[in-house]
Amino acid sequence: MSEVVVTGIGSVCALGNTLEESWQRLVAGKSKIRLCQPFPELPTLPLGMINTSPYQLADLTKLIVLSALEDAKLAPPLLDCAVVIGSSRSHQGIWEQIVQQMYNVNCLDPSRLLDSKIWLDTLPHMNAINAARIIGSVGIVLAPMAACATGIWSISQAVELIASGKCQRAIAGAVEAPITPLTITGFRQMGALAKTGVYPFDKNRQGLGLGEGGALFILESAKLAKERKAKIYGRILGFGLTADAYHPNQLHPEGKGAIAAIKQCLHRSKIIPKDIDYIHAHGTATQLNDRVESLVIQELFSDQVYVSSTKGGTGHTIGASGALGAAFSLMALKYQTLPPCVGLSNPEFDLNYVKKAYITRVQRVMCFSFGFGGQNAVIAMSV
């Protein structure tokens, strides 16, 4: 099996238009979550928006794809580069606009409003197809969709393609444009949204704040990366993917699926819990997630492992959150610095939280994504 390394990262989120910009603001403890009202029919809420109006998925994906290629010093066409780009919401914002338009003109016949090309371009898999067009790939294209686990699931699928020899290079990750009326309303109905701010693992946490953004990675076999003398952010050690099969939108209260995913990841990575220096937690700041995730960490890891969540700075980018977390984890390896848990001031749980950016020896990191409905994804990386 081929060793898989990361040779390029593209990222845009509320914290910055580049990964470096986002990282510098993150380690400074900054948050770009602001009270916003993008839709007049809905109340003001804390959101991690990149601009003053919601992004369209296609525009955001193109920015991140080009950024990843530039970082990896690659240029189109990349004919045999696999594309594994997921999104849990896909083009939902456009579909909501289409439905609203249909009702506004009292017309339920979509053919009278839009031509077939627009409909085709907004199907769930088309974002990955469009990314393949941008890079000029005629290789494998996959478009995973697994709630908040989408980003790590996408990276894991790409790792398998390279490790098994099906390709030597892939662009993988997730992008999300979730600031839509239906998404906001859905999370409000579940009682999952914060009212003033995002405070992961805090006694006073209120819930999540939706955020826009994503991260895409250029993954290559170690052999190919060495041949072209590419810079390397880190190695992918292994991953774990499980489902709770418990409830439509709640995690298992004992975290059984999450524990299974972590154990699976450790086994594939050929490491043990004490080998992990830092955990980038899912840390949504919802009551249930933070409680269950804390129990899981306490059960499997020592009280010395460092823990933080970056959603207090970026907002919860839903399907892209694991990809963003993996990007920040790789930056921790690059700079030998742990990012702070922005928004945490009064911890409820007994974990070794990173409250301020901390310079220390970082050799192996683990990133968690635990999605609503119990879709669990975990990835381990090293220098």
Q: Which residues are catalytic?
A: 148, 282, 316
Select from 319, 284, 289 the least CA-distant residue to 148.
319
Matching residue, tokens 């390709």: 167
Q: Give the end-to-end CA distance of the chain in Å, rounded to a whole number.
A: 19
Strands 337-338 and 278-280: unpaired
How far, CA to CA in Å, does 202 sit from each of 25, 197, 316, 341?
21, 11, 16, 10
Residue 62: both structure tokens together? 């193109």
User: Residue 292, class by beta-carbon neighbours within 10 Å (0-12 exposed, 13-18 middle, 19+ buried)?
Assistant: buried
Q: Give the position of tokens 């220390």.
A: 360
* Calpha distance 298→165 (Å, rounded): 37
Between CA 67 and CA 100 the distance in angstroms is: 34
Cβ atoms of 30 and 313 closer than 8 Å: yes
CA atoms within 13 A on the CB side of 219: 34
**Burial per residue of 143-159, b for 16 or more beta-carbon CB atoms within 10 angstroms, e otherwise:** bbbbbbbbbbbbbbbbb
Report angle CA 337, 340, 343 to the nearest 5 degrees. Answer: 170
Evaluated on CA atoms 124, 128, 129, 130, the torsion sign reads positive
Length of the chain: 383
